[in-house]
Structure 1
Amino acid sequence: MQLSYGNKKILQIAIPSIVSNITVPLLGLIDVTIVGHLGSAAYIGAIAVGGMLFNIIYWIFGFLRMGTSGMTSQAYGRHDLNEVTRLLLRSVGVGLFIALILLALQYPIEKVAFTLIDTTDEVAQLSALYFRICIWGAPAVLGLYSFAGWFIGMQNSRFPMYIAITQNIVNIVASLCLVYGFNMKIEGVAIGTLTAQYAGLVMAYLLWIRYYGNLRKRIEWHSFFDRQAMYRFFKVNRDIFFRTICLVAVTVFFTSAGAAQGEVVLAVNTLLMQLFTLFSYIMDGFAYAGEALAGKYIGAGNRRELHQTVRRLFGWGIGLSLAFTLLYGAGGQAFLRLLTDDEIVITTAGSYFYWVLAIPLAGFSAFLLDGIFIGATATHLMLRAMIVASGCFFLIYYGFKGTMENHALWMAFITYLLLRGVLQGVLGRKILGYYSFRQKQPAK
């Protein structure tokens, strides 16, 4: 079956984004694999703790990617190359400013973090060493968020994919050389990660110079801090920031609530959440396509293509959700056995597995509408839906915790996913009416 032009455009953005998403956890997996052969479990614990800490820190500032993507795609649709250029400079500038704050506050951040994290003295010491080295990668990581969002807004998800693959290669080579060539142990792994992060930033800049270098002549430093433009930039990113805080709160609470029920329940929840994570990598790719294409057609004033793109995205979402439900139903237990051979954990997981089967159909619309809302820069509506869904998550869990225990946690999580999609769907019906579309020929 031959795909339509619109579906090809979706896949051209979605597939490289999916590859990029899958490569992200490989950076941490590579570090764990290397330290796993150093002869002490404390090294693995240190990487796990340090990685978790940086995931939380950087996740909070993910608005640099999402906000940049939505606003850039709209400027691209309007063919406003001056604003396209300003948006990249503005985003990178804000990212570097935040990175400098993180570097200046690294000591209190470290103290607070390791006061809250309960671990052994050896793991805490090694984690602190890992943190003190990797925190210097903040400018690179936040700068890459801005470049990735800008590239996606320019309808180009291939460059973030190339950068992610390059980072993994550099990380492997640098870490192996430092650990086994110079006997540096965990500091070698940290420096290897740091090297990979800056290699990615350098590559992003070189790709921009090579393929978008003609935009340099459009740099207007006097308009960089335009009051109205900066207000819109921070307004959109403020909504995404608080939405991310809600998302992090739900995710961290899910893990801690499972841990409070014992090691077996924690292990079961961790394994089952891998199936959610796998599904999220795929749907996030289509969400990125929604960011890029919805923003482009809104910027171009092309109502017809916007409507058709939304319909096509939901067609992909429904199809993939049904496919994942069938896949998990048929092979989910076999997948769990690949992750662990602990029969107690596998048997216990079976009691909760039907919740996993509900994830694809309950959650796909939340992912897709996140992307469409970001492309439309209707982030205030996305935030409202997230606040209500997050509040319901906690109400359901505490309301049913006494009688349903871990089932209450999963019921709350599935309801949270479903509510996000339903609420955004209701609010999203109005999005198309919020824009004064100009009469234009369909943008290609």
Structure 2
Amino acid sequence: MSALLRDGRDAWRHAPTQRRVWALAGPMILSNLSVPLVALVDSAVIGHLPHAHQLGAVAVGGSLYSLLVWTFGFLRMGATGFAAQACGRGDGGALRALLAQGLLLAVLIALLCSLLAMPLLPALLGLMQPGAELDALARDYLQIRLLGLPAALASYALIGWLLGAQNARAPLAMLLTANLLNVALDLWLVLGLGWGVAGAAWASVCAEWSGALLGLWLALRRLAEHPGRAAWPALRRWGAWRGLLTVNRDIFLRTLALQTVFLAITVQGARLGDATVAANALLLNGLLLAAHALDGLAHAVEALCGHAIGARDRLALRRALWVSAGWSLLASLGFAAFFLLGGRVFIDLQTDIAEVRAIAYRHLPFLALLPPVAVWSYLLDGLFIGATRAREMRDAMLLALLLCLPLAAALHDRHNTALWFTFLCFMLVRSVTLGAFFWRLNRQDAWFPRH
């Protein structure tokens, strides 16, 4: 134990590692925080319209769109690990091939989802049993948002590739441009022109396309710094795609399980009433705020650990993990204190509907507990992504889901408090199972491929 603590202390005092972590984490935290900012502005703008079903429609439609987009988060996560390892090897040709593969997958998936989403929408909304007004507005919102799906998925691929190429400023520029434009258009279209829920949807579509186009330009500029030629004919063969698609498959299954949990929260909340689903959306905005900030440090772990594995540098790997873990713990405790002390102000900024506020207030303790419980899953996900070991991520997520299903079944007909208690247990089990996989792989020294 003393050797372990001494190792952590030495890593924490290593100034070059601290600088490398924050050179990546700083821009990613800023860019990630701009993502929940959009959800907060949507909630604040729509939440000050006169009816709860308007806020509920954005919550339901936004949840379904997020489920669709985040399910394909492997486009970012898969690209980061492979790009970081290629960068560590100095392989410019592999970087070029990986960028092309990511963008091609994004376009194909967007086309397929656009064809399937609308026929499935009535069934998804039927699960939630919303009121007639909420149902109609949620459908309109989602139909508009689907126009931005190709850009949203392409942005995932571009951000993952840029981060793996050790460039966090480009994703910062992409996300800040897109999300600040989204905020400005939200205010103009919803409040200025009076477009209501549809205005919020159109603001998001325009912002997604602006971010994707900027990201493509920045990625092409970054390629000039990594000389090499891609083996384009090899991309016609299955072997060139096997590694990427295998990792993406496992991340897809892991993400699908996670999004199923978030969808279940929205479904159960909708069954408890329009005010409850709206209140849960405001609380989830708080969790997203914390998660996106903490993910900035996890993104640094992805890039630095992937680079260290590509360069076969064990010391750099350990240092990156220790420094990122220390800052992640401190940040999670800061968010817990913020939600405990300022949670009511956070809710009040998003809505002035008294019934929604009252429900959200009662569940603020759960929101405060979630960051320090979930932070370890974010951090370890970053390590597994950088190591392109998606199978362990998949298995940990599925195991956490299976272990928590009996609790969810036992409490499914209870009040909203039971729903949040189950979600907290799920996040705790997820962190513990990922930690168990980390301990096993670390003992086996399995982070570095033997070939």
Task: Give the TM-score normalised by structure 2.
Answer: 0.84
Q: Name which of structure 1's ranges 263-272 and 200-209 shifts more when overlaid on structure 2.
A: 263-272
Match of 2:401 among 390, 399, 424: 390
Matched, 1:421 2:431: yes
* Aligned residue runs from structure 1 range 339-418, under 5 A: 339=350, 352-399=363-410, 406-418=416-428
* Aligned residue runs from structure 1 range 153-302, under 5 A: 153-171=164-182, 190-213=201-224, 218-261=229-272, 269-302=280-313
Alpha-carbon contact 1:373-1:379 (below 8 Å) kept: yes
Structure 1 match to 2:6: none
Q: Name which of structure 1's ranges 224-233 and 51-60 shifts more when overlaid on structure 2.
A: 224-233
Matched, 1:62 2:70: no
Partners of 2:144 and 2:336 in 1: how far apart?
Answer: 42
Deviation readout 1:305-330 (Å, 9 max, x if unpaired): 11121122221222223333444444
SS at match of 2:388: coil
Alpha-carbon contact 1:396-1:408 (below 8 Å) kept: no
Matched to 1:24, the amino acid is V
Partners of 2:254 and 2:194 in 1: how far apart?
Answer: 43
Match of 2:88 among 36, 61, 77: 77
User: Aligned residues: percent identity?
Assistant: 33
> Alpha-carbon deviation of 1:150?
0.3
Alpha-carbon contact 1:65-1:148 (below 8 Å) kept: yes
User: Structure 1 pair 166/253, CA: closer, same or farther in 2 (3 Å)?
Assistant: same
Partners of 1:6 and 1:391 in 2: how far apart?
Answer: 38
Partners of 2:435 and 2:172 in 1: how far apart?
Answer: 30
Taking only aligned residues, the RMSD between alpha carbons, in angstroms, comes to 3.5
SS at match of 2:218: helix
Partners of 2:440 and 2:353 in 1: how far apart?
Answer: 50
SS at match of 1:10: helix
Partners of 1:93 and 1:131 in 2: how far apart?
Answer: 24
Q: Name which of structure 1's ranges 45-54 and 239-248 shifts more when overlaid on structure 2.
A: 45-54
Structure 2 unmatched ranges of 5 or more: 1-11
Deviation readout 1:261-306 (Å, 9 max, x if unpaired): 5667656655544443332122111111111111111111011111
Q: Name which of structure 1's ranges 255-264 and 358-367 shifts more when overlaid on structure 2.
A: 255-264
Alpha-carbon contact 1:302-1:438 (below 8 Å) kept: no
User: Structure 1 pair 287/346, CA: closer, same or farther in 2 (3 Å)?
Assistant: same
Structure 2 match to 1:434: 446
Matched to 1:422, the amino acid is V
* Aligned residue runs from structure 1 range 3-82, under 5 A: 4-30=15-41, 46-82=57-93
SS at match of 2:236: coil
Alpha-carbon contact 2:47-2:353 (below 8 Å) kept: no
Q: What is the number of residues matched between the two proteins?
A: 438
SS at match of 2:90: coil
Partners of 2:348 and 2:42 in 1: how far apart?
Answer: 23
Partners of 2:358 and 2:50 in 1: how far apart?
Answer: 31
User: Structure 1 pair 223/356, CA: closer, same or farther in 2 (3 Å)?
Assistant: same
Matched to 2:424, the amino acid is I
Partners of 1:33 and 1:344 in 2: how far apart?
Answer: 15
Matched to 1:434, the amino acid is A
> Alpha-carbon deviation of 1:39?
8.2
Alpha-carbon contact 1:271-1:336 (below 8 Å) kept: yes
Structure 1 match to 2:4: none
